[in-house]
Amino acid sequence: MSDKKIKEKALPKLKKRKACTPEQIAANRHIYDDHFRMGFVRQFNREIYSLMDQNYFRPEFIGFEELPERNRPEHPVIFASNHSGMAFPWDGMIFGSGLSKMHEFDPKKQLRVLTAPMLSQTPAMHPYFMLHAWKMAGGIDASFLNFETMMHYPDGQLLIYPEGVPGIGKGFNRRYKLQRFSSSFIRMSLKYKSDIVWYSTINAEYVAPLMYSHKGVNKAINKIGVPFLPLGPLTPLLLFPAAFFLSFPSKMTFVRGSRIRPYEWTDKAFEELTEAEIEDIRQRVQDKCQEELNLALAQYGRKPYRLGELLRVIFKGFPLNTPLGWPMLFHEFEKQWHQKGKKGEEVKVYKGFGASIYLLFRNPICFLYFIPFFGWLALVAYGRWRWKNGFKDKE
């Protein structure tokens, strides 16, 4: 039997996916604007991200002074990166917010992120139960139709984390080891001849260090809409809801890599490629990304916290700039966004003397984040009620 036939036989039997029709794509273009508001991105950046940016995470962006242009004007470039393991996806939030700020919230340079549907469908997987937070910031549920629709998006570029939920749920022992990439972004790159731009996320693995994963435990916890349960020395703290969103102050560093052009690796049209050939290309892309991740780690991953630098800035805005103050910060911002921001008014979160006490009493639900177990019961009930009733606004 030939090597090619052996490879095809070794692949799981896949149903042939029907191509999305132009009519389906046209009818689905409402996802471009569903919930997404640049005003939300800008005001969130100013009122929340600025504190986390300057006085906690202190992220660095290497090679992003100029955002890569589209190689084909009608189709976006596909950005891709590794996810941090066993932690709330702060890495994606910090990257997206920071890049928007760097490029002055230019819609033409905004990244639209394809996210696991589990994130948008589960109240607890939103930052502090903020309703539609991921979608208001530009997130799109990752489905084949949505991905293909976004390949016709007229503004900005796309971002995907090809490891998916397994990338978030990998343990500390597998940090910086890429989990199996989804083939969807490879297919889109091949079909539309769009470049893939890899960037390495360094030090985000240390937002929740020494936390590990167990497949059986994760499978059980998936049934309540949570992708993983971190296991390690910090696990007992998860009795407190605030600990679920906990992040250590790692200095996240985002290192832009090379442009990858998988469509140049074959002479065949996309429709003529076999599953085995697509799998070969997917593996080549993953191997190249792992190589670039290893190089970036060697250069930027030696001191994940930079404690000296951290101590110089962490007390500016304390405690609102730390996980102790984030519940108050997020809930106050959300309240003002729905009262003012959607009407075109500016959101202004008070951050002066005594701000944490003031905001705590303005948002008494925040007490629940610091109550073990029963705080969880109340917050989950609150999240479900919010998902059912919302703010009665039409976005």
Q: What is the pLDDT of residue 330?
A: 98
Q: For the chain, how far is it from start to end, CA to CA, in angstroms?
A: 57
Q: Where are the domains of the chain?
A: 18-313
- Using one digit for the tens of pLDDT, what is the confidence trace for 111-146? 999 998 888 888 988 999 999 999 999 999 999 999
- The pTM for the full model equals 0.92
Confidence of residue 9 (pLDDT cuts 50, 70, 90): very low
Question: Which carries the bigger pLDDT value, residue 215 or residue 244?
Answer: 244
Determine contact, residues 76/153, Cβ cutoff 8 Å: yes
Per-residue model confidence as pLDDT tens digits over 147-204: 999 999 999 999 999 998 888 888 899 999 999 999 999 999 999 999 999 999 999 9
pLDDT of residue 13: 44
What's residue 388's pLDDT?
A: 85
| Cα(92)–Cα(82) distance, integer angstroms | 10
Which residues, in sequence order, are CB contacts of 2 under 8 Å at separation 6+? Answer: none
pLDDT at 10: 47
- Can you give the pLDDT at residue 391? 61
Could you give the 3-state DSSP secondary structure of residue 40? helix
In this prediction, residue 226 carries a pLDDT of 75
**What interhelical angle do 3-10 and 275-300 show, nearest 10?**
80
pLDDT of 10-64, one tens digit each?
444 444 567 899 999 999 999 999 999 999 999 999 999 999 999 999 999 999 9
Q: Please tell me what DSSP assigns to residue 358.
A: H
Strand-pairing partners, residue 115, are 141
**CB within 8 A of 242, min separation 6: which ones?**
323, 324, 327, 369, 370
Please state which architecture CATH assigns to domain 18-313.
Answer: 3-Layer(aba) Sandwich (3.40)
Q: How many residues does the chain have?
A: 395
